Structure 1
Amino acid sequence: MRVLFAAFPVAARAFPVAPLAWALQNAGHEVRVATHPDLVRQVTEAGLAAVPVGQGEDLAALTDLTRNPALADHPGGGLHIGTGECPDWGARWYRTTRAFAALRPLLEELTGTVVRWRSDLVLWDPFCLPAAVAARVGGAAHARLLWGRDNIAWLRGRSARYQDQSPDFPEPLEETMQQLLEPYGLPYAEELVLGQWTVDPMPPGIRLSAPGVRYENVRWVPYGGGGTVPERLRGRPLRPRVWAAGEGFTEALRELDIEVVGTSDAVPLVQLLPSCSAVVHHGGAEVFASAAAAGVPQLIVPEPTWGEEAAAVQLVRKGAGVALDRRESDPESLRAALRSVLEDCREGAAAWREELARLPGPAELVPVLEKLTSHHQRI
């Protein structure tokens, strides 16, 4: 097969495609990753073939959703939803569809890439709807590759149900899809928003499934880029090592008898986590899933942007860490919470790691992708 990954043009979204891309290459398939020229280095350093798209587009304009006027009145720009709850789902769905439109400038180049290379399968970021349209034009099978909870499918389901009950409800998705489909004369199909199927690497317990979507689950494999291992990471730390994502965390924790490593140290998590006694962060999917896979206890102060609160709930449920309300995260509370993590959560984190290790890995997903591609591909 020829498999094209369409990655959202920021490094944090480009990195998660690597483990599955490696598995496909190791199985003998051809793999390329389409992303913005400014992200090509991250792709090629992972040993993958990069295809630059959006060469005339300003990267910040594509990725900074806060520049979108539709998002400007929303504090923090968060698109999170509670598990099974979201009283303002309509407003969040509207903001999500406005975010979809940001990547429209990539449509022509993505379509050209799929058609010229004769891609068999396109795996695309949930926000990269132009990749789904490109796959449809080129006759390729296509699926979404998640990097967090499936808030998009959940919100889309709520919108569709509401539209059935209120036919006059103005569906905000229509305008975005019309702009993408008109150049090719294509009719709308739900798979262009939700994929023909969806690959979900999130740990069980924070997955958010939507009716009518076929999910193929896979184990999260941490990857955050390569690099030279710093001298201090080449042996065991003399004191408990704690990685803290944020200057505020770093300063608050320095009074404890621990070694604090901050984000300014620029060490890939995949190198750092095995030597850590704990991590402190806001609950982002990449850090949460990577720490869980490494068996490292966590202290989460969730900032509700996507699935952070769900991650905090699952962490506590597994006994693998502590969640602290951001409104109560003063320095003394942070230090007390971290003490609890270091003293009480090691066994829970280790047990969770063993549980996650039994999930199917990327190599086990490859035969599933082969069968689904054969079924959905339009020759």
Structure 2
Amino acid sequence: MRVLFAVFPVADHAFPVVPLAWALQNAGHEVRIATHPDLVGAVTGAGLAAVPVGRGEDLAALTDLSRNPALSGHPGGGLDVGPGDCPDWGAKWFRTTRVFAAQRPLLEELTGVVVRRRPDLVLWDPFCLPAAVAARVGGAAHARLLWGRDNIAWLRGRSARYRDRAAPGGGWPEPLEETMQQLLEPYGLPYEEELVLGQWTVDPMPPGMRLPAPGVRYENVRWVPYSGGVSVPEWLHRRPLRPRVWATPGTTGMIGSLAESEIELVSAGDSEPQVPLAHLLPSCSAVVHHGGAELFASAAAAGVPQLIVPKPTWDEEASAAQLVRKGAGIAVSGGEFGPDSLRTLLQEPSFHERATAWRDELARLPGPAELVPVLERLTSHHQRI
């Protein structure tokens, strides 16, 4: 089977595909990763074959998230869907469709890759709609591969329900229509919902995170941490004398004097390029972060208690809520966070016990290798070649 991954042009979206790509490759399938030229080194460094797409300046706003309010922490630009009713869902769906539209320059290149290489299966980032269109042109089966909670399916469903119920006469200007017309018109293709939501969806997030999305078929897979191939420093082989705490940028200053005498503080800004998560997390007594999907899922898989100070951008508040439900950590607002929160997390045994139990629960989910035969069957069923 020939498999093509289409990755959004950001490293945080590229790394989560690596374990599944390895599993497919180890099972004898031909694997290629289509991604921006800036990420080719990260892909080949993982022992995988890269196909550069999106050359030039067309995707500059996406490769530099600091200039993209739709995906960064810009005050008006988060795409988070909180635990409530999300009253501003319409604005967030509009911004989501603008991210879709920004990848229009990928369409011709991805279609060319599909037509030339004839993959049997295309696994695409939820933002990368051109990959779904390219798969449809080439007759390949295709599915979304999530890297966080499926906000897109929920927002799409919410928009469709509003259109059908509140504006049956067509008064609701569906922002997806313009984007899809631009993608489909060059190939004379009709609109199909699978071009936005996939023929199925691979979901690596811990159970309990999923939003209701009728009509979407999900296949669970266990999250396997991967953050790049780097050497393990000598200090990591030594047992820490004090509880080791890994804290991401923006949280270390809030820990204060606790780091001086009670813990061994490891700053993610200093250590992340040198220490892969899979090696660092098992040695930690706690992780302090803003709730990003990669660290949340990786720490849960390692059985490490977490202290989350949510910074809403995508699914950070949902991660914090799931952590609290599992009893595997603490969630506090930025104004409430201080040394006492971390001290409680470290000193109360129940957090470690429940984090360990959660780790064991997650370990029973199918791993990437177990998902391979599922993908083979689904590909055979959906392929149109």
Range of TM-score over shorter length:
over 0.9
* Correspondence 1:285 to 2:288: no
Shift of residue 252, structure 1, vs aligned partner: 2.9
SS at match of 2:103: helix
2:162 corresponds in structure 1 to 162
Q: Are residues 1:257 and 2:257 paired?
A: no
Report the Cα offset of residue 70 of structure 1.
7.7
Listed as ranges, the gaps of 5+ residues in structure 2 are none
> 2: distance between equivalents of 1:16 and 1:49?
16
Residues 36, 52 of structure 2: 8 Å contact kept: yes
Please report how far the alpha carbon of residue 68 of structure 1 lies from its aligned counterpart in structure 2 after TM superposition: 5.8
Letter in 1 for 2:306: Q
The residue that corresponds to 1:62 in the other structure is 62
Is 2:237 the partner of 1:227?
no
SS of residue in 2 equivalent to 1:31: strand
Letter in 1 for 2:38: D
1:372 matches 2:375: no
Instruction: Return the offset for 1:327.
Output: 3.1
- How big is the shift at 1:268? 2.0
In 2, distance between residues paired with 1:69 and 1:79? 10
Partner of 1:29: 29
SS in 2 for 1:205: coil
- 2:194 — aligned with what? 191
Distance 1:251 1:234 in 2: 28
* TM-aligned CA deviation for residue 250 of structure 1: 4.7
The structure 1 residue matched to 2:356, chosen from 333, 350, 358, is 350
C-alpha deviations, 1:104-154, integer Å up to 9, x for none? 111111111111000100000000001001101111000000011110000
Which one is further off, 55-64 or 190-199? Answer: 55-64
| Counterpart among 153, 174, 177 of residue 174 in structure 1 | 177
Deviation for aligned residue 1:238? 1.5
Partner Cα separation in structure 2 for residue 284 and residue 358 of structure 1: 23
Specify the SS of the correspondent of 1:328.
Answer: coil
Q: Distance in 1 between matches of 2:146 and 2:112?
A: 24
Q: Structure 1, residues 194-243: CA drift from partner, whole Å, max 9, x if none? A: 00000000001112240010111111111111111111101211111110
Which residue in the other structure is 1:107 paired with?
Answer: 107
The residue type paired with residue 91 of structure 1 is: A
CA contact (8 A) 1:65 1:71 kept: yes
Asked if 1 retains the 8 angstrom alpha-carbon contact of 2:282 and 2:302, the reply is: yes
Are the aligned partners of 2:148 and 2:293 in contact in 1 as well (CA < 8 Å)?
yes
Partner secondary structure for residue 355 of structure 1 = helix
CA–CA distance in structure 2, aligned partners of residues 373 and 74 of structure 1: 39
CA contact (8 A) 2:72 2:78 kept: no
Equivalent pair of 1:296/1:346 in contact (CA under 8 Å): yes
Q: How many residues align?
A: 375
Which deviates more from structure 2 when the two are superposed, residues 84-93 or residues 45-54? 84-93
Q: Contact (CA 8 Å) 2:3, 2:123: kept in 1 or not? A: yes
Aligned position for 1:9: 9
3-state SS in 2 of match to 1:4: strand
Instruction: Tell me which amino acid in the other structure corresponds to 1:313.
Output: A
- Contact 1:63–1:102 (CA<8 Å) still a contact in 2? no
1:63 and 1:38 map into 2 onto residues whose CA distance is 8
SS of structure 1 residue aligned to 2:287: strand
TM-score, length basis structure 1:
0.95
- After superposition, the C-alpha distances for 1:269-328 in whole angstroms (9 at most, x for unaligned) are 122111111100000000000000000110000011111111111111111110011232
Relative to structure 1, the CA distance from residue 130 to residue 256 in structure 2 (aligned partners, 3 Å threshold; closer, same or farther) is: farther
**Structure 2 CA distance for aligned equivalents of residues 118 and 17 of structure 1:** 20
Partner Cα distance (1:365, 1:72) in 2: 32
**Which deviations, in whole Å up to 9, do the C-alpha atoms of 1:66-90 show, x marking residues without a partner?**
6468889961521111236211111
1:40 Cα offset (Å): 0.5
Q: Determine the structure 2 residue equivalent to 1:321.
A: 329
Q: Secondary structure at the match of 1:148?
A: coil
What amino acid is aligned across from residue 75 of structure 2 in structure 1? P
1:377 Cα deviation after fit:
0.6
Q: Any gaps of 5 or more consecutive residues in structure 1?
A: none
Query: Conserved in 1, the CA contact under 8 Å of 2:59 and 2:102?
Result: no
2:51 is paired with a residue of what secondary structure?
strand
Q: 2:126 is matched by which residue type in structure 1?
A: P
Matched residue type, 1:336: D
Q: TM-score, with normalisation over the residues of structure 2?
A: 0.93
Task: Report deviation, 1:171.
Answer: 0.2
Give the whole-Å Cα distance in 1 for the aligned partners of 2:48 and 2:367.
Answer: 19
